[in-house]
Structure 1
Amino acid sequence: MKTAILVIDMQRGLCDDPPRPYEAEAVVGRINALTARARAAGVPVAFVQHENAVDLEFDSERWQLADALQVTPADARLRKTTPDSFLRTPLEAWLSGQGVRRVVVCGYSSEFCVDTTVRRAAALGYEVVLAADAHTSHDKPHAKGAFIRAHHNATLADITSFGVPIRAIDSADIVFDR
């Protein structure tokens, strides 16, 4: 089954600015390892970047991808304005054009854009692999980033009503077929 990787909102203003999200440096390292393995297997990689007029203006310093993220010219770059990476973006057409039926999702923020994109992908019939240790969030007054990630790994992987699997798998255990 043709696969693509979606790296959600790993941007300077969200991931590099202090305070940084939970395990920010380790998450970037896992994403870099995951995308390098994907590219070596011929799996397409897309970086999705959120934008708004308040603090993530298009092409601003804060809107740019996180400094430590490894990006190649062959990687797709997609802009979005909502937590849903599919809504009013070319993502679905990009996936369809490449025959993709399974997406690997990682990035920021576990409870907003990652969660919404995982659910929307499944609703559209894509099998979803959530890179369980390669998404993150900031600590919130009600929950720490570690809890938020663990909660979404368990909750999303427990959803069966879309009719396609959603699995939460550690990034090192995700396998790409050639």
Structure 2
Amino acid sequence: MNAIDTGTAALVVIDVQRGLFDTRPPPFEADAVVARINGLADRARAAGAPVVFVQHERDGSPLAFGSNGWSLESSLRQSPRDYVVRKTTPDAFLRTGLADLLQALAVDRLVLCGYASEFCVDTTARRAAALGFPVTLAADAHTTHDKPHLDAARIRAHHNATLPDISSFGVEIRAVDSDAIEFSRAG
């Protein structure tokens, strides 16, 4: 394995919540994606890198704040040292404290994973790059549901191929399989 060292990164896990994963059918490769996220989180914590869980909420829906559906997916491994950010749009930075949290933690790059590839993962990756954060997209640790126009595997493949082609933000976005991502903390 040729490991990708992410430097002073935070792992940001987007919307891996019961209301999105405990569905019939579940998201594409749901169990494998959660296992990969757990592996990433374990490596991040072992290196002292922050782990941030982002949770979407919408009143009157299965993702209503505090509801069972809003809760993180039950097989995600969590630590009391992890951080939680609540959001109401596909952009994990918009009207949240994520940018301030990352600055306080001296994070200068992000590893992103979670749900949904074409909405919250894509939007957050683009916004992070626009804010100057290089992004490593865990290519096999984000997912979505099949859509009428395209199945989830191709949606994920599309985002893994197109996000790294964006250079106009001035920072790199790369898509790397989760087993090639290692974390380290400076100082």
Q: TM-score, normalised by structure 1?
A: 0.98
Q: Which has the bigger relative contact order, CA under 8 A and spacing at least 6?
A: 2
CA drift of 1:176 comes to: 1.3
1:82 aligns with 2:92: no
Distance 1:148 1:158 in 2: 16
Give the equivalent residue in structure 2 for 1:58: 65
**C-alpha RMSD of the superposition:** 0.7
Are the counterparts in 2 of residues 16 and 67 from structure 1 also a CA contact under 8 Å?
no
Q: 2:109 aligns with which of 95, 102, 111?
A: 102
CA drift of 1:54 comes to: 2.9
Give the equivalent residue in structure 2 for 1:119: 126
1:7 aligns with 2:13: yes
Q: Per the alignment, in what secondary structure is the counterpart of residue 172 of structure 1?
A: helix
Distance 2:34 2:133 in 1: 25
Q: Per the alignment, in what secondary structure is the counterpart of residue 68 of structure 2?
A: coil
Look up the equivalent residue of 1:3 and give its one-letter code. Answer: A
Q: Per the alignment, in what secondary structure is the counterpart of residue 2 of structure 1?
A: strand
Q: Per the alignment, in what secondary structure is the counterpart of residue 142 of structure 2?
A: strand
CA drift of 1:42 comes to: 0.5
CA drift of 1:125 comes to: 0.1
Unaligned runs of 5+ in 2: 1-6
Look up the equivalent residue of 1:90 and give its one-letter code. Answer: G
Distance 1:134 1:54 in 2: 29
Report how many aligned residue pairs link the two structures: 178
Q: Per the alignment, in what secondary structure is the counterpart of residue 117 of structure 1?
A: helix
Q: 2:26 aligns with which of 16, 20, 36?
A: 20
Q: Per the alignment, in what secondary structure is the counterpart of residue 129 of structure 1?
A: strand
Equivalence map 1:37-76=2 (5 Å): 37-55=43-61, 56-76=63-83
Q: State the identity as a percent.
A: 62
Distance 2:119 2:54 in 1: 14
Give the equivalent residue in structure 1 for 2:151: 144
Deviations 1:103-151 (A, max 9, x none): 0000000000000000000000001000000000000000000000000
Distance 1:54 1:85 in 2: 20
CA drift of 1:17 comes to: 2.1
Are the counterparts in 2 of residues 12 and 67 from structure 1 also a CA contact under 8 Å?
yes
Q: 2:179 aligns with which of 153, 167, 172?
A: 172
Are the counterparts in 2 of residues 5 and 44 from structure 1 also a CA contact under 8 Å?
yes
Moved over 3 A (4+): none
Deviations 1:33-84 (A, max 9, x none): 0100110000100000000013110000100000111111110011000000
